[in-house]
Structure formats: structure tokens, C-alpha cells
């Protein structure tokens, strides 16, 4: 099993990640959109979060509103909300297992069982980290599934036949 110092360091980093997950879940800055009119007086900045959206006027006034229903939330943020909440709950279970499987605790007497609990805690932390990382990356890059993109207009082009280029015309300019 890992030395006690490394295990405590890993546990502290896991708790910091847990607190970071709670913070990113609460912040309303998942999507930021700026509308700037013909002059600076009509500018607005819209923040969309998992729980509320906020509008900041050019005067500095900010108004935040909690979403009325789950359906008022865009689809990508609905999926992000679900993944982040599941990730936070999984991290909580990982913290509990990390405390139980810690070398410096006496919750489990058998060293072999204690190491299995610690390994299970680490696996849960990895899965929970992915559950939080996926929606954050998804939103930061503009959406992997592009749920907010306008629909593409398919244009059928007629087949055009062109005369083959001769060898001499392409080498004349080189």
C-alpha cells in the first residue's frame, strides 16, 4: 500500500477537487454571451449557469434569475447539470471511502481490506473527475454535440464535368 504521506496528500487533493466541483456547479458563468449594439450604451453581457442566468447592462447593473423549470435550461446545460451533480455525489462517496480506507484510520482492521477500500476510493475519484471534466470541456469548447448550432441547410449540387487539365498547362507557371 502507498505510504501514509502520499495517501494524505491524495486525500487533500481529492477534497480540494470536491470543493472546486461545488464551486463550478454554483457559478453562473458556464456560457457568456456579449451583445454590443451600435454604441456602448446598449451592450449586455449574458451569463448562463447551471442554476440561473444573469444579465449585466453596460451601466454595471446585474440581474440574476433562477431558471423557472428544468425545461427552461438549454439541453447542453441540462446534461452538464446532471453530470456535475452525479460527479459531486460520487466524490462525496469517494471521500467517505478514502477516510475509511486511510492508513491513519481504524475503521477497517484488516490491511488488505483497507487497501481495497482505498483503491475503490481512487477509482471513484477518477470516474467522478471525468464526470465533471466532460461537461466543463464540452461547454468550454462550444459543445461537442453542438446542440446550439443552427441547423445546416443541405444543398444538392449538380454534378459538373470539367475538362481534364493538361500536363503542359500546370508546369508552364512553375
pTM (2 decimals)? 0.72
Say if 151 falls within a structural domain.
no
Say if 62 falls within a structural domain.
no
Say if 150 falls within a structural domain.
no
Query: How many domains is the chain built from?
Result: 1
pLDDT at 144 (0 to 100): 45
Instruction: Give the CA-trace dihedral at 142, 13, 99, 130, to 10 degrees.
Output: 20
Say if 41 falls within a structural domain.
no
Say if 57 falls within a structural domain.
no
- The terminus-to-terminus CA distance of the chain in angstroms comes to 68
Classify 10 as helix, strand or coil. Answer: helix
Q: Could you report the per-residue pLDDT of 130-165, keeping only the tens digit for each? A: 999 999 888 877 644 455 555 556 555 555 555 555
Its domain, for residue 79, covers: 4-29+72-141
Of 80, 70, 90, nearest to 24 (Cα)? 80
Residues 88 and 129 sit within 8 Å (Cβ to Cβ): no
Amino acid at each position: 500500500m502507498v505510504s501514509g504521506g502520499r495517501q494524505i496528500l491524495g486525500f487533500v487533493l481529492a477534497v480540494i477537487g470536491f470543493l472546486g466541483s461545488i464551486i463550478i456547479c454554483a457559478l453562473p458563468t458556464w456560457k457568456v454571451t456579449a451583445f454590443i449594439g451600435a454604441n456602448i450604451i446598449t451592450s449586455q453581457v449574458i451569463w448562463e449557469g447551471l442554476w440561473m442566468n444573469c444579465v449585466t447592462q453596460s451601466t454595471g447593473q446585474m440581474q440574476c434569475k433562477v431558471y423557472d423549470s428544468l425545461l427552461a435550461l438549454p439541453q447542453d446545460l441540462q446534461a452538464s447539470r446532471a453530470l456535475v451533480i452525479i460527479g459531486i455525489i460520487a466524490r462525496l462517496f469517494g471521500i467517505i471511502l478514502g477516510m475509511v480506507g486511510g492508513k491513519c484510520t481504524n475503521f477497517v482492521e484488516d490491511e488488505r481490506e483497507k487497501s481495497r477500500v482505498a483503491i475503490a476510493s481512487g477509482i471513484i475519484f477518477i470516474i467522478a473527475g471525468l464526470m465533471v471534466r466532460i461537461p466543463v470541456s464540452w461547454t468550454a469548447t462550444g459543445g461537442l454535440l453542438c446542440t446550439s448550432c443552427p441547423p445546416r441547410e443541405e444543398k444538392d449540387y449538380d454534378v459538373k464535368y470539367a475538362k481534364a487539365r493538361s500536363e503542359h498547362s500546370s508546369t508552364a507557371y512553375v
